[in-house]
Amino acid sequence: MSAAWGLMLGVGLALVWLSLWTAPAQAAHRKGGWYDTTQDSLIRAGAPGVTPWGLVGVSVAVGIVVALVGAAVSGAAVIGAAFGVIASRGPFALVTSRARRTRDGLREVWPEAVDHLASGLRAGLSLPEALGQLGNRGPDVLREPFRAFAEDFRASGRFNDSLDVLKARLADPVGDKVVESLRMTREVGGSDVGTLLRTLSQFLRDDARTRGELEARQSWTVNAARLAVAAPWLTLAMLATRPSNAAAFNSASGATVLLVGGCLTLVAYRVMMRIGRLPEEPRVMR
């Protein structure tokens, strides 16, 4: 038990050490890599203050706690370790799920936001003023970032810098397209702003409708993959409530069975998700 407390103390000290690193350390990571992608997911999930390494630390801590509890309840350290590994994926799954819901919600409201923007420009507002108006009259999910944009622009007067901060707050590929279209409109000028915004709005509506139809057809594959992954481990959890069943896994052969089963489960799940996955739009205009 002392070893377990020592391990938990080590994890705690590692988390404290990681919290001392600030934004400059993040710049060393390659744009578009795991770090940036995970950070975008955290922003969309409503946790912009959490770093990807902080999420890793939480996952490790959750896995250790579940492993200790599982080992104590079942009496088999191997079974506890297996469920600890599964539980360590929980924080990532939660962030991914919340980020996906936010991204899907944004995809639905972007056409409405572009229409609001076009209406503001037709009413004689400047582009920064029209963007600021979205913080009061735009879709609810977009009001906070655009309200923050208006405050940034009033404080600095630098339109491009305020747009860059807005892109970082949104962390959304569709938002990147809209922001860069507006930046180009601001720099090039001309009388075709209304046409550009109407074309962009129609394009976003068509894209959202097509993707929604594909996701509806794809959902059964995703649900089947999740059910196939969960079923054997739920069965193991019920079997582990009996000491005689748990003791059967508390050996080298039992550990081998769990390890092979875990690897096969992971491979099967990844294959099914790969088959049914729709291509995700990357942030190519960070």
Q: Is the pTM of this model over 0.75?
A: no
DSSP letter for each residue of 151-193: HHHHHH--HHHHHHHHHHHH--HHHHHHHHHHHHHHHH--S-H
Query: What distance in Å separates the CA atoms of residue 34 and residue 184, rounded to the nearest whole number?
Result: 29
The band of 190, judged by pLDDT with boundaries at 50, 70 and 90, is low
* Per-residue confidence (pLDDT) for residue 9, from 0 to 100: 56
The band of 57, judged by pLDDT with boundaries at 50, 70 and 90, is very high
Query: What distance in Å separates the CA atoms of residue 106 and residue 144, rounded to the nearest whole number?
Result: 13
Element (H, E) at 256: helix 252-276
Provide the residue ranges of all domains of the chain, joining segments of one domain with +: 105-209
* Per-residue confidence (pLDDT) for residue 15, from 0 to 100: 60
Instruction: List, for residues 88-111, the tens digit of each pLDDT value.
Output: 999 999 998 899 888 888 888 888
Is the pLDDT assigned to residue 53 strictly greater than 90?
A: yes
CA distances from 270 to 56, 93, 95, 183 (A): 20, 14, 18, 39
Is the pLDDT assigned to residue 12 strictly greater than 70?
A: no
Pairwise pLDDT comparison (216 vs 97), residue with the higher score: 97
Query: Which among 211, 131, 200 is positioned nearest to 169, based on CA atoms?
Result: 131
Query: What distance in Å separates the CA atoms of residue 252 and residue 256, rounded to the nearest whole number?
Result: 6
Query: What distance in Å separates the CA atoms of residue 69 and residue 53, rounded to the nearest whole number?
Result: 24
Query: What distance in Å separates the CA atoms of residue 145 and residue 143, rounded to the nearest whole number?
Result: 6
Query: What distance in Å separates the CA atoms of residue 26 and residue 39, rounded to the nearest whole number?
Result: 10
Query: Which among 174, 179, 180 is positioned nearest to 282, based on CA atoms?
Result: 174
- Alpha carbon 158 to its chain's center: 30
